Amino acid sequence: MTNTVPPMNTVPPTNTVPPTTPRPALAITATGLRKSYGGKPVLDGIDLRVPAGTVFAMLGPNGAGKTTTVRILSTLIAADGGRASVAGHDLAAEPGAVRAAIGVTGQFSAVDNLLSARENLILMADLYHLGRRPGRRRAAELLDRFGLGDVAGQPISTYSGGLRRRLDLAMTLVGSPRVIFLDEPTTGLDPRSRRGLWTIVRELVAGGVTIFLTTQYLEEADQLADRIGVLDHGRMVAEGSAAELKRLVPGGHITVHVADPSALAAAAAALGATTVDEDALTAQVPGDQRGIAGDSTSGNSTSGNSASGGRTSGNTASAVRSVLDRLDAAGIAIADLSVHTPDLDDVFLALTGER
Amino acid sequence: MPNHVVTDTLTLLRRNLRHTVRYPSMTIGAVFGPVIMLLLFVGVLGKTLGAGLAGTGLAGGGGHGSTGLTSAAHPAGYIAYIAPGIIITAVASGSMATAVAVCVDMTEGVVDRFRTMPVSRVAILAAHVINSMLTTIVATAGVAGVSVALGFRPHATTARWLAAAGLLVLLGLALTWLAVAMGLVSATPEAASNSPMLIVFLPFIGSAFAPAALMPAGVRQFAEYQPFTPAIETIRGLLAGTPTGHTALIALGWCAVIGAGGYAWSLAAFRKPRAH
């Protein structure tokens, strides 16, 4: 699955089947998916194995091929090569059966703007042939669950982006899909709406639904996904859990800002700083204990798979404490201190090299 | 899911009817265009055009002897000649409005949602066609009503009225499927509103407003053999109470060809994914 193994890749090869005893049912499988537009390859051989009831996040920049992957897997377009099956049905042979099992919330709002939220949901219920009364009931239930009850009768044109996205997802759920594709579901949403959507995704997964998510945000993948695939130029350049991926990139760094050049020299010496910027009066050290030579806290156990998106792990916290202790001991006053944790840019630069 | 084609069509038709009611400007345009044309040709140009036609002895309501110079020079004489043409124009412009509606709909994300659902492909298009047919029928009836108000006095039996209505419905159905295909292949709603203009104006280069026999060579041959002329002549004959002869068969043949072609083209175009 890992087509390109970057030099700093310390993760064991990810194409080995995890040693779980009962083989989990796979909700999505793909081998060698290919798609070109005008002779230019957009997807260049993608392999996927997503176990049922898990969240798979496809991470990548604009143009990496994320949306194309979703459009192929959701039967909107045909692949030029390769095979894929969703919910146990082959995409090419049984597109109808695939459509009956999936729900898709695309990057662009897929609601009917001339209908109200309630009418949109009832339209979905009718198209899924739920029957008149159960269909109305399902619509009311979803309006309630997504906090759309108060605006249910208003035209969609009056809705905010967050409200619209919620309706979009509610429409996806009308048919109780077993596999849901979410193509950049939180792009353009404010933090509150984003968190609200994450909660919904977690509830769905708790109910046994499989989620295939694309995102540009490492934090989103970190929060939601069991496995993350990093897509670049139509190829999967790495795949693993959030913790595994983060080990692929150098840790973050701590930047100390001082008031004058003499303090900068002293601070750099005290810290053994790796990078010194004399114009900005800043000195940088690696943000985890691995990077700080002679640090005494290396026995500090860190558990879990956190450490990204602005949160600091035990590692980073002890590194900050160590930095402050050293500066204190050397009697250096600092103007400011900032901590940078690995983000998508770091993962990307590390995984794709100079391109 | 072929067993759900009818249910899905009705479900989606409800959606399209709501669109028509909530966003009626296209439909209103389809009625007003032909009505304005009618007012222009009868009220403004009627006297001149009627006199011109009367001089040739080709105008008039057919068999009831109204080809005399004085009566044809009166606007009421010319309206007897052009009303069937205007009614056909109403059918054409009503049908062609479908192209814009379909194109706009395709740019809405919700149609991509339908494509990822177990919804019959034909149902999505058929709902558009039925919706458009209903509005075209209302619009055409409106235009016919205005013609009568302006002095159009058809001499037709109930059976002939029904035959005329039936031919108009068939023509509308054929043109609507053609318009669906045009809407599907148009990149933008602007393009979708331009290309059907050719079809809306085709009756002008036929026998809608003046007999083909009076046109210059080349144009005349085109006017005689283009699809609208037999339809216009058939409607004119049915409403005037004169024999229609084989033009009715030719008109029906054209409807079948245009309709089948439009249907096949539409389905092929819809199955192809749109580039975003």
The Cα–Cα gap between A319 and A291 comes to 9
Q: How close is the nearest chain B Cα to the Cα of A159, in Å?
A: 16
Q: How close is the nearest chain A Cα to the Cα of B122, in Å?
A: 14
- A76 with B112: Cβ contact below 8 A: yes
The secondary structure of A86-112 as a DSSP string is: ETTEETTT-HHHHHHHEEEE-SS--S-
What was the ipTM of the complex prediction?
0.82
B152 touches chain A (CB under 8 A): no
What is the predicted pLDDT for the residue at A221? 87
Residue type, A8: M
What is the predicted pLDDT for the residue at A132? 92
Q: Tell me the average pLDDT across A330-351.
A: 78
The Cα–Cα gap between B60 and B124 comes to 45
Residue type, A240: G
**Chain A residues within 8 A of B276 when measuring between CB atoms:** 108
The Cα–Cα gap between A188 and A169 comes to 15
Dihedral sign, Cα of residue A2, residue A5, residue A8, residue A9: positive
Closest CA to B43 of B69, B70, B87, B82: B82
Task: Kindly report the number of other CB atoms within 10 A of residue A98's CB atom.
Answer: 24
Task: Kindly report the number of other CB atoms within 10 A of residue A189's CB atom.
Answer: 18
Dihedral sign, Cα of residue B242, residue B247, residue B248, residue B251: negative
Q: Tell me the average pLDDT across A214-224.
A: 86
A116: which DSSP letter?
A: B
**Chain B residues within 8 A of A104 when measuring between CB atoms:** 113, 116
Pairing of strands A55-59, A210-215: parallel
B8 touches chain A (CB under 8 A): yes
- A110 with B8: Cβ contact below 8 A: no
The Cα–Cα gap between B255 and B168 comes to 10
A51-66 per-residue burial string, b: 16 or more CB within 10 A, e: under 16: bbbbbbbbbbeeebbb
- A96 with B110: Cβ contact below 8 A: no
Answer yes or no: is B50 within a domain.
yes
B83 compared with A107, residue with greater pLDDT: B83
The Cα–Cα gap between A1 and A158 comes to 45
Among partner residues B19, B108, B116, which is closest to A74 by beta-carbon distance?
B116
Residues of A with CB under 8 A from a CB of B: 37, 71, 74-77, 96, 99-100, 102-104, 106, 108-115, 119, 123-124, 126-129, 171, 175
- A127 with B8: Cβ contact below 8 A: yes
Answer yes or no: is B194 within a domain.
yes
Q: Rounded to 5 degrees, what are φ and ψ at B206?
A: -140, -150
Closest CA to A351 of A30, A89, A9: A9
The Cα–Cα gap between B191 and A158 comes to 28
Please count the structural domains in chain B.
1
Cβ-proximal residues to A227 (8 Å cutoff; 6+ apart), any chain: A50, A54, A55, A56, A57, A239, A240, A241
- A127 with B22: Cβ contact below 8 A: no
**Chain A residues within 8 A of B115 when measuring between CB atoms:** 75-76
Q: How close is the nearest chain B Cα to the Cα of A282, in Å?
A: 46
CB B116 within 8 A of CB A104: yes
Among partner residues A96, A106, A113, which is closest to B112 by beta-carbon distance?
A106
What is the predicted pLDDT for the residue at A249? 72
Q: What are the tens digits of pLDDT across the range B85-119?
A: 889 999 998 898 899 989 988 888 889 899 999 99
Per-residue confidence band for A4, with pLDDT thresholds at 50, 70 and 90: very low
- B109 with A76: Cβ contact below 8 A: no
Q: Tell me the average pLDDT across A198-207.
A: 92
Which parts of chain B fold into alpha helices (H)? 5-22, 25-39, 46-56, 69-73, 75-107, 109-115, 121-149, 158-185, 189-201, 219-225, 228-240, 247-271
Q: Tell me the average pLDDT across A308-334.
A: 75
Answer yes or no: is B57 within a domain.
yes
Dihedral angle over CA of A268, A274, A279, A282, nearest 10: -60
The whole-number mean pLDDT for each consecutive block of 10 residues of chain B, a chain of 276 residues, reads 81 94 81 84 76 60 37 60 88 90 88 91 94 92 89 87 93 95 91 85 82 82 87 89 85 94 94 65
Q: Tell me the average pLDDT across A302-328.
A: 63
Reduced to 3 states, what is the DSSP secondary structure of residue A55? strand
Which parts of A146-212 fold into alpha helices (H)? 161-173, 191-206
- A110 with B15: Cβ contact below 8 A: no
- How many pairs of residues across A and B have Cβ atoms under 8 Å apart? 63
Answer yes or no: is B276 within a domain.
no
Specify the length of chain A in residues: 355
Q: Tell me the average pLDDT across A66-83.
A: 93
B:112-141 residues touching chain A, CB 8 A cutoff = 112-119
The Cα–Cα gap between B72 and B53 comes to 8
What is the predicted pLDDT for the residue at A350? 75
- B116 with A99: Cβ contact below 8 A: yes
Per-residue confidence band for A108, with pLDDT thresholds at 50, 70 and 90: confident
Which residue in chain A has the smallest CA separation from B20?
A114
**Chain A residues within 8 A of B13 when measuring between CB atoms:** none
Q: Tell me the average pLDDT across A73-95.
A: 93
The secondary structure of A179-190 as a DSSP string is: EEEEESTTTT--
Answer yes or no: is B267 within a domain.
yes
Residue A312 has pLDDT above 70, yes or no: no
What is the predicted pLDDT for the residue at B58? 52
Residue A17 has pLDDT above 70, yes or no: no
The Cα–Cα gap between A344 and A297 comes to 28
Residue A314 has pLDDT above 50, yes or no: yes
| Assigned token pair, A17 | 């089947």
In terms of Cβ atoms closer than 10 Å to its own Cβ (0-12, 13-18, 19+), residue B65 is exposed
The Cα–Cα gap between A184 and A172 comes to 15
Residue A8 has pLDDT above 60, yes or no: no
A347 compared with A14, residue with greater pLDDT: A347
Per-residue confidence band for A142, with pLDDT thresholds at 50, 70 and 90: very high
Q: What is the mean pLDDT of chain A?
A: 82
Cβ-proximal residues to A232 (8 Å cutoff; 6+ apart), any chain: A60, A61, A64, A348, A351, A352, A355
CB A232 within 8 A of CB A268: no
Give the least confident one: A75-84, A291-300, B191-200, B264-273.
Answer: A291-300
Answer yes or no: is B240 within a domain.
yes
Per-residue confidence band for A179, with pLDDT thresholds at 50, 70 and 90: very high
CB A346 within 8 A of CB A262: no
What is the predicted pLDDT for the residue at B117? 93
B271 touches chain A (CB under 8 A): no
CB < 8 Å & 24+ apart, contacts of B253-258 = B254/B174, B254/B227, B254/B230, B255/B167, B255/B170, B255/B171, B255/B173, B255/B174, B255/B231, B256/B174, B257/B174, B258/B174, B258/B175, B258/B177, B258/B178, B258/B227
Q: Which residue has the tokens 């039967």?
A: A75
Give the least confident one: A65-74, A159-168, A218-227, B237-246.
Answer: B237-246
- A76 with B15: Cβ contact below 8 A: no
Pairing of strands A81-86, A26-37: antiparallel
Answer yes or no: is B151 within a domain.
yes
Helices B247-271 and B158-185 cross at an angle (nearest 10°) of 30
> In terms of residue numbers, what domain contains B108?
2-271
The Cα–Cα gap between B164 and B137 comes to 13
What is the predicted pLDDT for the residue at B174? 96
Residue type, A178: R
Among partner residues A37, A108, A114, which is closest to B18 by beta-carbon distance?
A114
Q: Tell me the average pLDDT across A140-167.
A: 89
∠ CA A236-A241-A246, rounded to 5°: 85
CB A211 within 8 A of CB A204: yes
Q: Rounded to 5 degrees, what are φ and ψ at A178?
A: -90, -25
What is the predicted pLDDT for the residue at A33? 94
What is the predicted pLDDT for the residue at A131? 92
What percent of chain A clears pLDDT 90, i.e. is strictly above it?
40
Helices B5-22 and A117-127 cross at an angle (nearest 10°) of 160
**Interface mutation target, options B5, B7, B116, B124, chain A, most CBs of A under 10 Å:** B116
| Assigned token pair, A337 | 């201190």
- A171 with B113: Cβ contact below 8 A: yes
